[in-house]
Each structure stands twice: as structure tokens, then as C-alpha cells.
Structure 1
Amino acid sequence: MNMSPKSFLFLFLFLFSLAFTYGQEGLPRLRISENQRFMITEDCEPFFWMADTAWELFHRCDREEAAFYLKKRAEQGFNVVQAVALAEIDGLQSPNPYGETPLIGLDPRQPNPAYFSHVDKVVEMAAAEGIYIALLPTWGDKVFTHSWGKGPEVFTEENARSFGKWIGNRYKDQSNIIWVIGGDRNPREGTSDVAIWRALAAGIVEGTGGQDKALMTFHPQPAGPGGSSNWFHNDEWLDFNMHQTGHCANQPTYQKISYDYNLQPVKPTLDGEPLYEDHPNCFNAKELGYSLPEDIRRIMYWNVFAGAFGQTYGCHDVWQMYTTDREGINGPLRPWKVALDLPMANQMKHLKNLMLSRPFLTRIPAPEMIPANQEDNTDFVIATRDSEGSYAMVYFPTGQSKAVNCKPLNSRLLKVTWYDPRTGNQIDAGIISKAPSNTFVPPSSGGKGHDWVLILDAV
């Protein structure tokens, strides 16, 4: 086709304007489902929270590094990144790659626009990759430094509300923001901690223009019996609960998810900081070694099958954006760009894909399907199912056979499939007749690493 230079220029500008307009379109906003158990888009599509922990993203990464990180995580299937504005690692006084610190004179009433212009760009880049930012306005050491973190403690009720209003207003038009109050701190009794966090949340609500425009939670330290629910479950601003189940391998994390799941009023719940990949087990690498993929994977499936609406992943090298020319915190093993391809970072998507492969918004925990008494150890088998009886899934952590009560499923015949959580591959195991107690033998056994998901579909 022959085209004059003027026509070619017109076509080029037209196509460029289309590309620019497309790039500027925001992600659909997220909200809580009608049954208060899950997260959905404003278009009512199910949203499985598959998050990575990149606490230092805004503080330590320049735009080229941030783009590299976000592109990689998007390719791996992640749809949420948890990051902090006033970061953990000397975030108030150590500048970002452009020489900027976030507050003028360490005053929360005077945010530095030059610092936040970089945050703006990273938030926009995330949206372009289909990623939501779970944004912590501040790490908790700016409220309570305790024995770790450099602080300084700069927040009061008054300036927390002021800062919340400012940052809420700044990002009110960004549809890919989820707000996370807290930052690895549990409120202390007899202090103003709870009041400060509530003031920050109130400021964000005011800045964004209303509670319905500020999807929000709270990130605690490990706690019990709940996480954020211990202090804020009845607060209107808390839309969903979040746990930090911590960095030890052998914990019955499903108990904490179950605790939140059974609270009133009903709110969604998830584990926002589990055992990280490449993390010293219980912070004791010398005696306990480093985390293993099979431990991380087990915790994730336990949590989701217990009723969580999604799951956060973390890597010890990545959250701190470790490089060999930086002092590492708690013994990172490799530079963050190398760590992006560790096994569990590439296996997370199999959990998300599995959960979205069947009706999502009617899914419930199904402890009644495992009738035998079980010890709280690595062999613990856990089930989830459709409340309408169309399917069930049972997670076998170590490949041990188990009797399953199939009565909740609504057909006489059941299609049996084994799902490999390491690869996402499926094995067709045929059709069986439903019985009050069917015993199932996974494709392999032998302890940790031989985990399988049994899928039962009513036919």
C-alpha cells in the first residue's frame, strides 16, 4: 500500500494516541464480595490475591530496577505487590536512588513531593503490568521502634491523620491501590499505638473521599489467636483481616485462618507474611537451616483451604532488595534479581490457577470431609469445597493415604483428578462411586515434598 508522508504521520500519531490511552487505563477497583468472604473486581470478577512482598521497592529501586521487578512478577502470575512508602531500612533518613527522603525535616505533616513522584511512577508501572500495590503508608518503627528498626518514632494521632489524608488524597485516583495500615508492629497495651493507627486510617478515608474508596487492612507481627482482628476486627475501616504467621516452618497456620473465618461480623482473611523463601528458619540458620519450598508450599495450601481468599509469598532476598554491596539483614543468600526465579516464586501461580479453575465465590472450608482425628503436624490433611456441592479439593501434604467423607458432594458419581502443586499438571484418576468414606492414595508418598491436591468433581 502506497502512503504519503503526511498520511503515514497521521496514522502513526493515531496509533500512538491509542497506545497511550490504553496505557493510561486503570485496573478495575477491588472490593469485598457480597458474602464478605472474598475479594472481587468492580466488574464482579473473582480476585485471588497472589502477592509478593517487596517492602523496599520504593526506597531502594530506581525506575529501571522497579520495571524489571514488576515485569518479572507479572510474568510469574503475581497480581499484588506489598510495598512501603516510609520504608523499613532507615526509610526516613537514607535517600532513595534519586537522593530524596520522604519527609521534610522528619515531619509527617511535610511529605516531600520529589520522593513521592518516584512512588507515583512505580505505582503507575505496576498498573501497566496488571499489578495492584498493597501500600503501607509507613513501616511500624515510625510509631514504635522497639528493638529493631531505626525509626525514628515520628507519628502522633494528629500528624498520623494529617499524613493519612495527604497520602490518601494523592492516590485517590489510582485504582490499583490497596491500603495496609501497620507495618510489622502489634499495638502495645497502655500506649497510643491503636489510636495512632486508627488516626492514620481515618485520614486515608478522608483523603480518598470515603470508606467505600479505601480498601484497607492492617499488617501485624505474628500474634494469636488472630492477627489484625485482635485489635481492629470491629473497626469499619478494616475491610479484611491480615496475619503474619511468621518465619518458622512447622506451625499450624490453618488454625489462625480458621479463627478469623469464624469471627462476626464476617470479613475476608489471609496470611500477608508467611515463611519466606531463602529465609533462616525461625531466624536461626546455624541450627535450623533455611526455608524449603515444600514447607512454604504446605503453609500456602493450608491457609487457602482453611478459608483464606488468597496468599502472600515472600523472598528474604527480594523484600530487602539485597545486593552484594549492601549489608544484608538476617543472612540473605543471593542478590534479589537472581532470587526472583527461586522455585516457589514460579509455583505460586499453580495455587491461584487451581482456585480459579472452579466456582470461587461459593468455596468454603470443609473440615467435615476429613473425619479422622489428626495431629497438628506436617501430615495434616485439609479440605475445601463448593457450598453447592459441585466440587471438593483435598490437600495431602506428605502423600499419606486418607479416608475422605464425600457426602457433601451432590452426585452419586465423582470425577477424580490429582493436581501436582509443583507443576500444575493433572492426572486423571477416573470416575468413582461416592461413599460416606472413600480412601484415596496420592500418586507418590514419602514425607515432605510429596504433596498432592485431590480434586473431586460431581458428575
Structure 2
Amino acid sequence: MKRIFIFLLTLIVPGILLGQIQGPIKISENQRFLAQFDDSPFFWMADTAWELFHRTNIKEAEYYLSIRKSQGFNVIQAVALAEIDGLNDPNQYGEKPFESNDPMKFNEKYWKYVDDVISIAEEKGIHIALLPTWGDKVFKNTWGVGPEIFDAENAFEFGKWIGARYADRTNLIWVIGGDRNPRKDSDDANIWNQMAAGIKSSSKKDNPILMTFHPQPNRPGGSSTWFHQSDWLDFNMHQTGHCPNQPTYRIISHDYELNPTKPTLDGEPLYEEHPNCFNAKELGYSNPEDIRRIMYWNVFTGGAGQTYGCHAVWQMYTLDRKPINGPLKPWQVSLELPMANQVKHLKNLMLSKSYFNRIPDYELVVTKQEDDEHFVIGTRDVEGGYALIYFPTGKSVDVDFSKLKNPTLKANWYDPRTGVSFPYSGSPLIKGKNKVSTPSSGKGQDWVLVVE
């Protein structure tokens, strides 16, 4: 009876089944954020699974996507021509992407598996941020094994081919690049431009596409450094990198101020259980509080969402595989690490307030601050209906609520670790300057003050 009821309900309200994607996402009307097909907010909550198509079988992919769906992720970043020798090392079914690399002769069996994984994601309501290739297929750098197979001509043809193959998919976002910055005095930028142009040439008017670029760490701009004025770049992406205690809000803020206005977000932050600055011996591994701080900083300063990553998961590490930079446990076990279950609290908080009219406001905090791990940051809506203040380490600061429209204020504390809120119990807040102290303080004791 339950199955019959659900079936009848879906006939009345198409798309009501949990996870069904009803259309592609798009840029919001104010050009700051991402929106669903029906103009409702879309908060980019992505996981990094670069090797998803290369190092899983269909049961493993199903398991991975099911777990990430249950944790609230709505985007998975994955690469078609994978990083870890993705041209010459076969996938889990013994298939390579090309029957020959030069000239490129596509292997249908390999691409059929990519199709199947994208379909599973779609069934679960998950978008795939698809990188057509990892960057070492364009040029060799300090890591990656290539080989280099793309020039401007065949990059366009490859883009045209892969764009046509997935032109009808409603759960794809295209990500040009792959951890490589265009070099000066080279044709790199043109190769990426041509690949993007090829994908665009195969797109359909009734299924518009979104496209961005995944760079290496670069200051102050990420994708915007080379492609902000390009018509194909719909939103900017950064890689803020794998060192803690960087003022990532300055990086996001750089793109937020650019003209023309485009959404921006961090597409590769500090991964969970990653060696800090690639130096585990001296600096240890990343911890949840550092990752959490970076995420809240990025979103509060105007990010259109946030990507998460786990060091074991991106490489789909298992004990029988050669580890890259010291993963601590197999990927299946690593799916349930603390931050993987805490990112949804950030998404839920942002979606609980009016969304598209939100702006960063550094003037909410009037205490003079240094660019360190204690930096308190604020955001609010344009009309002054609410303000959110993020305290990374729970220090006391002076805040100014003069821009809020009502003289009477109410407030709650929001716990980024659990998503639990409870009433603010300090001195009554006024429309003006206030001294605010958090419920607890110290490393890992971060809080959000929600004022309405």
C-alpha cells in the first residue's frame, strides 16, 4: 500500500520523490549565488571524489553516493580523465578511456561506466561537477603522470564530444581545468578556452549548462585570474589549499568585488585528515575545527556554497593501493569522519534565512582584529532583517547592530558542530554596539550568533 501511495502521489506532484532532480541549477538573478530550476536557493555543498570514475566499481559508487546523500551533499566533484594515471591505468573493469591516445579513439565501455555513475547520482538528487580531464593531460607539473595529449585543436574536439554525450543531462556542472594554473608565455589558457568552447558548442538551449574552472592555489584570484571575463565562465572557483590558518575570506572577497558580478566559492579547501601543508611529520594532520573555520569564513564573506574533501576519499584509497601523501585509513571508513557530517549544519543555517539578499559585512564586528585563526566575521541581509556572526575560537568582541531595522533584537547561539541552537542569555542586545561573549572559548569552540 505504501508503494502504491507514493506512486499515485508522484503522478499528482511530479518530482516529489526524494532526490529526484527536476532541472539544472543556474545563476541567481542577482548573479551572486546559485539557484534551483524553480528559482529556489541552491547551496553548493560538494564533496571531492576526483577518482570516482576511475577507482570504483558500480557497487562502490552506489555505496559512496548513498552515504554522501544521507550526509546532505548535493554536488560531487569528479574527473573523467582521472589524475592517477587515468589514461593508462584501467578502471575497475579493466577499461581505459581511449583505445588509443593519439589519435584519440574513445572506448565506449569506459564511458558507459561514467554514464552509469552519473545516472545513479541523478537518481539520488546529486549533481556531478564533471572535470573533463585532470590538468596533467594539458601539461606536466610537479605531480601527475600525464601524458600530455591536449592542444587547442583536439581540446575543442574532445570538449565537443563529451559535451554532446552529456548534453541532455540535468545534473551536470562543467569544471574546466584540474589543479593546474595556465603558465605565462604558453598556450595553456587557450587550450582550456577551446575545451570550454567545444562543450558549449554541443549544449542545448532547453538544457543550459554552468561552467567554472578548477585552479591550483593562487593569490588573490583563482579562476578569475585568467577567465573572469570569459563568457563561458559562469562562476569562479578557488583552491584555498591544504594549509590551515590562512585568511581565506580575503580570497573569496577578492572575487566578490569583481566586475562583472559572478558567484564564487572554494572548490578545494583543507581536506579532512590531510597532512597540514603536506608536512605531517612537523605539522601533523588537519583537524575539524580548522576545516570548519575555513568553511564558515568563506560562506560568510560571500561564497555561494562550500566544497568539502577527505584525503582518503578523493583518491579512493584502499590498503592494496599505493598511498598519495599519507592517507590514514581506507576511503570506505573515512566517509564518516566528523566534518563529513558537519558540513550540512552550515548549509542548513544559510538556507534557514532569506538567501539571495545576503551580503558580507565586515563592519558588524568593530573590534580591531588580526588576520589569524581568531578572526570573527559577520554577514547579514540587505534589508537588516538578520545578522550572523561567526566566532572561530569563541573570543569576546564588540559588534554593531545599527544596520538591523528593528529596535528590538532576539538572538540564538548556533553550534556548528551539532546544528543545535539555544537562546542567547547574555545582556540584552541593542540596536547599536554590544559586547558579546560566547558560551565557551578556545580552539574548537566556534559559535554562530544568530540575531533577528
Using structure 2 for the length normalisation, give the TM-score: 0.95
Matches within 5 A, 1:108-127: 109-127=104-122
> Aligned pair count?
443
After TM superposition, give the deviation of residue 107 of structure 1 in Å: 3.7
Q: Is the 8 A contact 1:444 1:450 kept in 2?
A: yes
Aligned to 1:341: 336
After TM superposition, give the deviation of residue 145 of structure 1 in Å: 1.3
Q: Is the 8 A contact 2:394 2:447 kept in 1?
A: yes
After TM superposition, give the deviation of residue 28 of structure 1 in Å: 2.0
Aligned pair partner of 1:226 in 221, 224, 234: 221
Matches within 5 A, 1:173-212: 173-209=168-204
Aligned to 2:435: 439
Q: Is the 8 A contact 1:141 1:153 kept in 2?
A: yes
Task: Give the AA of the match of 2:238.
Answer: H
Task: Give the AA of the match of 1:315.
Answer: C
Matches within 5 A, 1:132-281: 132-209=127-204, 213-281=208-276
Which SS does the other structure have where 2:46 is aligned? strand
- Give the whole-Å Cα distance in 2 for the aligned partners of 1:125 and 1:107: 31
Q: Is the 8 A contact 2:20 2:125 kept in 1?
A: no
Q: Is the 8 A contact 1:416 1:432 kept in 2?
A: no
Using structure 1 for the length normalisation, give the TM-score: 0.93
Task: Give the AA of the match of 2:327.
Answer: P
**2:135 is aligned with 1:129:** no
Q: Is the 8 A contact 2:22 2:37 kept in 1?
A: no
- Give the whole-Å Cα distance in 2 for the aligned partners of 1:335 and 1:59: 16
Residues 227-247 of structure 1 show CA distances to partners (whole Å, capped at 9, x for unaligned) of 000000000000000000000
Q: Is the 8 A contact 2:81 2:87 kept in 1?
A: yes
**2:298 is aligned with 1:325:** no
Residues 329-376 of structure 1 show CA distances to partners (whole Å, capped at 9, x for unaligned) of 000000000000000000000000000000011100011111222100
- Give the whole-Å Cα distance in 1 for the aligned partners of 2:337 and 2:129: 22
- Give the whole-Å Cα distance in 1 for the aligned partners of 2:439 and 2:58: 46
**2:76 is aligned with 1:81:** yes
Aligned to 2:409: 414
Task: Give the AA of the match of 1:74.
Answer: K
Which SS does the other structure have where 1:435 is aligned? coil
Aligned to 2:352: 357
- Residues 128/212 of structure 1: CA separation in 2 closer, same or farther (3 Å cut): closer
- Residues 212/239 of structure 1: CA separation in 2 closer, same or farther (3 Å cut): farther
**2:279 is aligned with 1:284:** yes
Q: Is the 8 A contact 1:204 1:214 kept in 2?
A: no
Residues 272-312 of structure 1 show CA distances to partners (whole Å, capped at 9, x for unaligned) of 00000010000000000000000000000000001001000
Q: Is the 8 A contact 1:109 1:162 kept in 2?
A: no
Bigger fraction of residues in helix? 1
5+ unaligned residues in a row in structure 1: which ranges? 2-10
- Residues 361/323 of structure 1: CA separation in 2 closer, same or farther (3 Å cut): same
Aligned pair partner of 1:426 in 421, 441, 448: 421
After TM superposition, give the deviation of residue 399 of structure 1 in Å: 0.6
Task: Give the AA of the match of 1:439.
Answer: K
Residues 192-233 of structure 1 show CA distances to partners (whole Å, capped at 9, x for unaligned) of 100000000000001113697220000000001110000000
Aligned pair partner of 2:27 in 32, 46, 51: 32
After TM superposition, give the deviation of residue 112 of structure 1 in Å: 1.6
- Give the whole-Å Cα distance in 2 for the aligned partners of 1:115 and 1:159: 20
Residues 404-441 of structure 1 show CA distances to partners (whole Å, capped at 9, x for unaligned) of 01011100011110000000010112693523211111
Q: Is the 8 A contact 2:410 2:429 kept in 1?
A: no
Task: Give the AA of the match of 1:340.
Answer: L
Q: Is the 8 A contact 1:168 1:205 kept in 2?
A: yes
- Give the whole-Å Cα distance in 2 for the aligned partners of 1:272 and 1:251: 16
**2:78 is aligned with 1:52:** no
- Give the whole-Å Cα distance in 2 for the aligned partners of 1:25 and 1:77: 14
**2:88 is aligned with 1:93:** yes
Greater CA deviation, 376-385 or 103-112?
A: 103-112
Aligned to 1:6: none
Kindly, what percent of the aligned residue pairs are identical?
62
Q: How large is the Cα RMSD of the aligned pairs?
A: 2.0
Matches within 5 A, 1:377-396: 377-396=372-391
- Give the whole-Å Cα distance in 2 for the aligned partners of 1:105 and 1:214: 29
- Give the whole-Å Cα distance in 2 for the aligned partners of 1:362 and 1:272: 23
Q: Is the 8 A contact 1:134 1:180 kept in 2?
A: yes
Q: Is the 8 A contact 2:392 2:446 kept in 1?
A: yes
